[in-house]
Structure 1
């Protein structure tokens, strides 16, 4: 029998036999030449799995013989855990611009994707990037001025979800070699079997279908949207762990289908005693910064991130 399609979107098609087709948009190569305030190169975190990343450094890191220690932003791309890459053109320009605007080193992680690698693989791969980061500060010239006491976790959509879970793993690991000062989820991707008000509206049918499809491809076999990686209320986190959770800056967009989930996330953290700020971008949709990395709205988002990073 021919395999049947069990999930599809503009960028991915998954089949019943486990095979997957991905449709890759325009990508950008890494460049060691200083361009638009930054330069970047690709690195390997774990060749066996494999886990790779793109490393960005700002002009500030090249302007003097010994620049001051720079904060480090570890970024996780979005894509419903199933698609996306730091090499995509939008991510390349957004993260290069962020590195320049915030005078930060940015490590953008290409974790393994679902459905071939279902959750929690993305969380495990992403946490492994923190371990790799700490091990490279002596041997990787671009990281020698990186400040491991000022590490920030960020990501958009599914990447915002990953940033949250990596922060929890850092808290639980007594041997964690970096200090996570804050996390910056952009239009974070959470869910539950219970629908939000927006998800019940007739005009949301297509977005709900796509959203459900990505979750079904991502969660472990036998799980649903009440999986503890998806549903905030199902996460088993101790009060003592919430007390150590880093400060959070949550971004939502006015016309984003996932806006309600982002607002719920911020309110959920506040109830746990976490220091949270919520910022809404007006007149914008989901992950606009990836589709329009040079827009004024994106520059404003980068500036907000810069202020947050340099408040520590």
Structure 2
């Protein structure tokens, strides 16, 4: 049983991305980029001239170039051409012989070919951490954030993100640099990561965060949601006290703002307990150094 033919679909837009429960800032000096399973074998299931693959490859090329410029290590996963039945085990039941049946399709697609200073990991299971030195490499590099893009979203990308979280590595899935079996599978994978394991963001978000890690409305929203036990129904104009936000959390937020040069104190936050009001205050009180805060 093989994967079967896959068709293109529109990539999720920024407005469709699920809210992540965590608001971890992307920090280039702590990050590693993982380009996941972009081998000719897996890409071929989309057929030739796939608009979806063209977009994803283009975005991964840009993402890789920007990561290289920031000194972020680049890691690839690639299944080997020779896999014994013992190595494949249950993968044979689920997917058949897989890549060993088409060894000529082992290479990573041309525009994304690994460079001499990139790391290529042998891939044995859905998670890139399984039977690989990825965790050890990240530890040696002093890095604990993992940017992930590639294929397939609801299989290896999502499960690598969850595995990263279980190892205290913060995963960031780049939604528009990822492809999946279908748009429904893609969105499902993003929702699971956002709800249980990490942050979902776009290539534009990564670029903006690397260039200007300041405060954003989306970042504020993520911070607030991370302070609440149940924020599923929270709207930006809701009273946060009604959702259980306490004074200790507000005080911590006020101290964080003031450390960043944004002059909003605890009393002002307590008197205006909603995301809408807090963002208005932050936007108005930003110092010149943080005045260009992106929506």
TM-score w.r.t. length of structure 2: 0.30
The structure carrying a bigger strand percent of its residues is 1
The structure carrying a bigger helix percent of its residues is 2
Which one has a bigger Cα radius of gyration? 2
TM-score w.r.t. length of structure 1: 0.29
